[in-house]
A and B are shown apart, each in its own frame.
Chain A
Amino acid sequence: ETGVTQSPTHLIKTRGQQVTLRCSSQSGHNTVSWYQQALGQGPQFIFQYYREEENGRGNFPPRFSGLQFPNYSSELNVNALELDDSALYLCASSLVAGGSSGANVLTFGAGSRLTVL
């Protein structure tokens, strides 16, 4: 079985620009979660997608948006980039029954490192 793959691995943007990060879920998984990990901190939950709809969001502004496609791959879009958006962005997939409950385990990708100048 394939794991979670993310692209690009590294990218540099300037303040005010927009960025799109991509993620391919692990085979058989139906849910995608995105996390932001700033240097020296743990991953922070951005949002989750289930059945192509947002299924919960953390404390992130609307300029962070996402998509989930029928093949369960996903995109994270960030508009109007700010310097504080510089971080490692982690995508994680899981298999959730019913979309709301269960002791599911996340399978993470290696992340996309975004630097905003």
Chain B
Amino acid sequence: DQQVKQNSPSLSVQEGRISILNCDYTNSMFDYFLWYKKYPAEGPTFLISISSIKDKNEDGRFTVFLNKSAKHLSLHIVPSQPGDSAVYFCAASGWRTNAGKSTFGDGTTLTVKP
């Protein structure tokens, strides 16, 4: 039973447009959520996070939205740039267990076309 799901394996958008990546979770104990970005032949790198006490967190072009009642979060990238092309992983953890023990989704491959 997958507790963190990214239902879209891939997403293609035009440069300058918005990219929206979605993530659903089932475990009510999750209260801290992170997005990581992964380029080929590199490890995942941290992008942005949000705790369950918030419903939105922004960092430059990246915004994460959390809907606790729907157990859904999304990552918005505006405007999208070709360098954003990568695999994006959603991850979740419980505050008490620390994010080193995160549960990851299977990733969404984002392609931003020039």
Contact = CB atoms under 8 A, between A and B. Distances in A.
A35 B38 CA distance: 14
A74 B38 CA distance: 23
A104 B100 contact: yes
Contacts of B95: 101-103
A58 B97 CA distance: 12
B89 A45 contact: no
Contact of B101 (A4, A48, A103, A107): A48
Given A90-B43, A101-B95, A108-B45, A43 B100 contact: no
Given A105-B49, A106-B102, A100 B43 contact: no
A52 B41 CA distance: 29
A109 B45 CA distance: 9
Interface string B74-107: 0000000000000001010001111111111111
Contacts of A35: 104
B34 interface: yes
Contact of A103 (B4, B32, B41, B42): B32
Given A90-B43, A111-B43, A102 B98 contact: yes
Interface of B: 4, 6, 32, 34, 36, 41-46, 49, 51, 89, 91, 95-107
Interface of A: 4, 31, 33, 35, 40-45, 48, 56, 58, 90, 92, 94, 96, 99-111
Given A4-B43, A96-B98, 10 more contacts: A44-B104, A56-B97, A56-B101, A100-B97, A100-B98, A103-B32, A105-B34, A106-B99, A106-B100, A108-B45
